Structure 1
Amino acid sequence: MPFVNSFCLNITLCHGHLAYLAITQTSLSFAIKNALTNSQKWLTLSSGYLREPNMIKICLIGDFKTCPDRSIYKMAAQLADSLSKEKGISLLPCPREHFTRPRSLNRIRRFQPDIIHLLGKPDPAELFRLKMAKLSAPRAKTVISAQQPVKTRTVRNMLSYVKPDLAICLSQKSAGFFGECGVKTVILPNGVDMTNFRPVSPETKAELRRRYCLPPNKLLLLHVGPVRAGRGVDLLRRLQNPDTQVIMAVSNPGIFNRTLLESLRKSGCMILTSFRPNIADLYALADCYIYPMLPEEDANYQIFSSEMPLSVLEAMAANLPVITTPFGALPEMFPEGDGLYYAQDDFEFLKAFQAYTQGTPVKTRTKAEMCSWPEVINRLKEVYTKLLNEKI
């Protein structure tokens, strides 16, 4: 029975164990049954992967670097981690920096995903990666998570060529852009870790200030992100005063405006440029979070920040008062009030800051609960299912 013998030699469990099969039909059936029972996710055959019933196979393309102060890496890593723990999901993460290697494309070809999900802006290079992945798995549906949409003619032309099946957008404005390009859209917020970022007691806040050698009696205003002119951080100089200490955690110290950085330092702002894996401590010790990003008409904002900034979500998860410009998807997702203030210019920022100091009750964590990772993952799984069932 040469067919049976050849078949037996190519059955391997995904964790590396070889299933030895006798050359009889009865033994063959028994061995396959045991192999399926012992394997948690799938069997690897010489021709590809077998899934469990009702399993959705997802190929996730993105930056999964361990860098807790870079929001785009952080979001991708947390999404991959959350999906990998979900029942009914078989995940193949494909790091973007290794994507063009033949080994990565071969993995996609063997895996044969149901859905190829690209995380990114997207820009032309990322859309090209999506097209390459699609060629390796022609039957897969393709999905884009549009974090920082690059709305150029080149991207429009690429979208008509790549033809993704769905764009997951953060704002109605971005959804309109993809809709004009003939791409179906859904609105889904970014996720935030509600366990790591949470409110702390006054005693814990005081202890953290002692640990970081920060003044115990000053109001501490926090901003997390790179020092660039397009982010409006020059405003922070004007908020620094004898009773208020501005703290800036620079998320990418290798890319910043040096002149602006020195100006902030001279005004008394505290600049933290070192890598900080315990970034949650900074939110815990702060009194208020400031996000002064310039609006779209004043800056090419998509290269500076996600439409739903992760640092704002983390501050809200920590139940901090947040003063921000009405940037990106924030006004669509979160109504003003309960400690969330929208300000258009310096005057409105100062006015909102004065309102905050009057002791308004803060309930920003309640607003952020809709963005908890379990909630976002449940909604994302619904999107996957509807897409595969042609209901989107």
Structure 2
Amino acid sequence: MTQPVDGGVGAYVAAVAADQVRRGWHVAVACPSEGRLRPHLAELGVPWLDWRAGRSPGPADLAAGLRLGRLLRDFAPDAVHLHSAKAGLVGRAVIRGRIPTLFQPHGWSWLAARGPVAGMALAWERAAARWAGVLVCVGEGETATALRHDVRGNLVIVRNGVDLRRFRPAGPQERAAARARHGVPEFAPLAVCVGRVTRQKGQDLLLAAWELVTKDCQAARLVIVGDGDLLEGLRSQAGPGVHFAGPVADPRSWYAAADVVVLPSRWEGLPLTALEALATGRALVASDVPGLAEVVGDRVGAAVPAEDVEALAGALLLRLAQPELAAAEGRAGALLALAYDDRVVFDALAEHTLGILGSACGTGFGTSTAPTGTATAGRSEGGGGVAGVPGEGVGVAAISTDGVGVSEAVGVTVAETPAAGVAGVGVTGLGVAEPEVAGLDVAEPIVAGLDVAGLDVAEPDVPGVGVPGVGVPGVGVAGVGVASAGVTVGVAEGAGFSIARKTADERGFIEHCQTPCEQ
């Protein structure tokens, strides 16, 4: 599953699904119908499933959880891969370790939140880590952030990658052609920012810095490529020399036209845009935050303190005024990008998925990565559906979403065997925190009187709250939003889901869905 369906997360989901098809797996991706992802999947020949889930938190999330339960029951995947905040929330609340699960945050949920919501999001991540056989981090910074905030689990690093067959160094001829296509004067200094236009990505900081740039370099041009909730507001504030190109299906020509690519993010996992810019041979100016700091340095550009407008302006101005410096950094960046081949990423994700399947069924199939007791695989009487076990096939489901206010990208991959039950739907009545989190117990079921995939659920112990075992009335998780005193404030939004089944003689699978990471 995936939401958002555009930007880096959508591109990531499509790329992984396409790789799974090439591996001989039967893959389906569930996501909202709007946006670029659905037609992209059609181009790749990957089946699409309609998983309706909004990006904003609210009562509709209960229905999204119920739909997820039905998808799990109907498609019976053998493993689940959750991407970003909402998928990570809903998926783990529904599955609770009963199906082998990978969770990939693409930027931790509490980083996107402010105030009490951030604390609740962190408490949730600490508690829910037990329900993922593997926690996939896209870089060392994301792993270090988890450990620093006491999010413990089977953390593995699978760095994001770039398609080096598509993104290649753009020489003078490609640069001239791209500028002619976009109407950019041949010798105009040009900075390009590609990504969702959101608070996370920091285009508001970029516009403030650009005012300083144009005081010393009036000929400089800035192009912001992408869409998002801040787009119209920033468009109305932009000064001379700034152009908003909107969302594009293929950003390669904008990278080729640029002298420097800029990513002024407030926080990140490891954005695809950074790797794409490097692979295209462009200097990169980016915030010195975990994720970006791993790929940006003196040889390939500049890492500037996050939210430091003056430092950002200075780094841009230096490269726009000295194109030979930018060109040299671009050449170094293209060499660095060779270490981020996306085929390595696909292989690693497949290995970890097969590993948790092997651990769950005790076959040793693949590389075992899951701690004991972290994940289990249900089996029907009529067939196995677990890697290495005779049966009707292996299924994989993936969910990805965009967490607004708590996480910028969220996804879930779900896999389970035919006729396996779904471990409830994570709505009111689900406790979320570890026992050591003050006042909370981990509650078993879910919604009073609801039966999901053959599982009966408990009546709520606290009328109106529905959280069995809750230690502090009025505090808990209301399915897909953090609830405090009965008011849902929301942990994430949006959702997507994809399923892959492998043929009976192959016995392995992986499915994947990407929101945050997300550009």
Scaled by the length of structure 1, what TM-score is found? 0.69
* SS of equivalent residue, structure 2 residue 109: coil
**Aligned-residue RMSD, C-alpha:** 3.0
Describe the superposition over 1:117-141 as per-residue Cα deviations: whole angstroms up to 9, x where unpaired.
Answer: 0111x24x64123332x27xx7521
Number of equivalenced pairs: 308
Instruction: Determine the structure 1 residue equivalent to 2:143.
Output: 175
- Asked whether the equivalents of residues 220 and 246 of structure 1 are also in contact (C-alpha less than 8 Å), the reply is yes
Describe the superposition over 1:27-72 as per-residue Cα deviations: whole angstroms up to 9, x where unpaired.
Answer: xxxxxxxxxxxxxxxxxxxxxxxxxxxxxxxxxx32373x3xx222
- Asked whether the equivalents of residues 281 and 333 of structure 2 are also in contact (C-alpha less than 8 Å), the reply is yes
1:341 aligns with 2:314: no
- Asked whether the equivalents of residues 142 and 290 of structure 2 are also in contact (C-alpha less than 8 Å), the reply is no
Instruction: Determine the structure 1 residue equivalent to 2:258.
Output: 286
Instruction: Determine the structure 2 residue equivalent to 1:53.
Output: none
Describe the superposition over 1:112-168 as per-residue Cα deviations: whole angstroms up to 9, x where unpaired.
Answer: 433200111x24x64123332x27xx7521111111211233334434256222211
1:95 aligns with 2:59: no
Q: Report the Cα offset of residue 78 of structure 1.
A: 2.0
- Asked whether the equivalents of residues 287 and 293 of structure 2 are also in contact (C-alpha less than 8 Å), the reply is no
Amino acid at match of 2:209: L
Describe the superposition over 1:299-318 as per-residue Cα deviations: whole angstroms up to 9, x where unpaired.
Answer: xx4xxxx4212221211121
1:213 aligns with 2:183: yes
Listed as ranges, the gaps of 5+ residues in structure 2 are: 33-50, 54-63, 111-117, 360-367, 370-519
Instruction: Determine the structure 1 residue equivalent to 2:496.
Output: none
Counterpart Cα distance in 2 of 1:101 and 1:324: 37
- Report sequence identity in percent: 17
Instruction: Determine the structure 2 residue equivalent to 1:84.
Output: 21
Amino acid at match of 2:222: V
Seen in structure 2, the aligned counterparts of structure 1 residues 129 and 380 have a Cα distance that, compared at 3 Å, is closer
Counterpart Cα distance in 1 of 2:76 and 2:318: 56
Q: Which has the larger radius of gyration?
A: 1
- Asked whether the equivalents of residues 80 and 93 of structure 1 are also in contact (C-alpha less than 8 Å), the reply is yes
Instruction: Determine the structure 1 residue equivalent to 2:337.
Output: 368
* SS of equivalent residue, structure 2 residue 159: coil
Instruction: Determine the structure 2 residue equivalent to 1:272.
Output: 245
**Among 236, 248, 269, the residue aligned to 2:224:** 248
- Asked whether the equivalents of residues 164 and 279 of structure 2 are also in contact (C-alpha less than 8 Å), the reply is yes
Instruction: Determine the structure 1 residue equivalent to 2:324.
Output: 359
Counterpart Cα distance in 1 of 2:168 and 2:224: 20
* SS of equivalent residue, structure 1 residue 206: helix
Scaled by the length of structure 2, what TM-score is found? 0.53
Mean alpha-carbon deviation: is it higher for 319-328 or for 93-102?
A: 93-102
Instruction: Determine the structure 2 residue equivalent to 1:297.
Output: none
Amino acid at match of 1:243: A
- Asked whether the equivalents of residues 323 and 353 of structure 1 are also in contact (C-alpha less than 8 Å), the reply is no
Seen in structure 2, the aligned counterparts of structure 1 residues 174 and 90 have a Cα distance that, compared at 3 Å, is same
* SS of equivalent residue, structure 1 residue 63: coil
Seen in structure 2, the aligned counterparts of structure 1 residues 216 and 199 have a Cα distance that, compared at 3 Å, is same
Seen in structure 2, the aligned counterparts of structure 1 residues 228 and 178 have a Cα distance that, compared at 3 Å, is closer
Q: Report the Cα offset of residue 178 of structure 1.
A: 4.3
* SS of equivalent residue, structure 2 residue 324: coil
Counterpart Cα distance in 2 of 1:154 and 1:94: 28
Higher relative contact order (CA 8 A, sep 6+): 2
Seen in structure 2, the aligned counterparts of structure 1 residues 379 and 226 have a Cα distance that, compared at 3 Å, is closer
Amino acid at match of 2:340: C
Counterpart Cα distance in 1 of 2:65 and 2:312: 50
Instruction: Determine the structure 1 residue equivalent to 2:194.
Output: 224
- Asked whether the equivalents of residues 259 and 323 of structure 2 are also in contact (C-alpha less than 8 Å), the reply is no
Seen in structure 2, the aligned counterparts of structure 1 residues 257 and 374 have a Cα distance that, compared at 3 Å, is closer
- Asked whether the equivalents of residues 161 and 340 of structure 2 are also in contact (C-alpha less than 8 Å), the reply is yes
Counterpart Cα distance in 1 of 2:4 and 2:315: 40
- Asked whether the equivalents of residues 288 and 322 of structure 1 are also in contact (C-alpha less than 8 Å), the reply is yes
1:109 aligns with 2:73: yes
Seen in structure 2, the aligned counterparts of structure 1 residues 286 and 183 have a Cα distance that, compared at 3 Å, is same
Q: Relative to total residues, which structure has the larger helix share, 1 or 2?
A: 1
- Asked whether the equivalents of residues 220 and 244 of structure 1 are also in contact (C-alpha less than 8 Å), the reply is yes
Amino acid at match of 1:381: A
Instruction: Determine the structure 2 residue equivalent to 1:315.
Output: 277
- Asked whether the equivalents of residues 229 and 260 of structure 1 are also in contact (C-alpha less than 8 Å), the reply is no
Counterpart Cα distance in 2 of 1:268 and 1:64: 30
Counterpart Cα distance in 1 of 2:256 and 2:264: 20
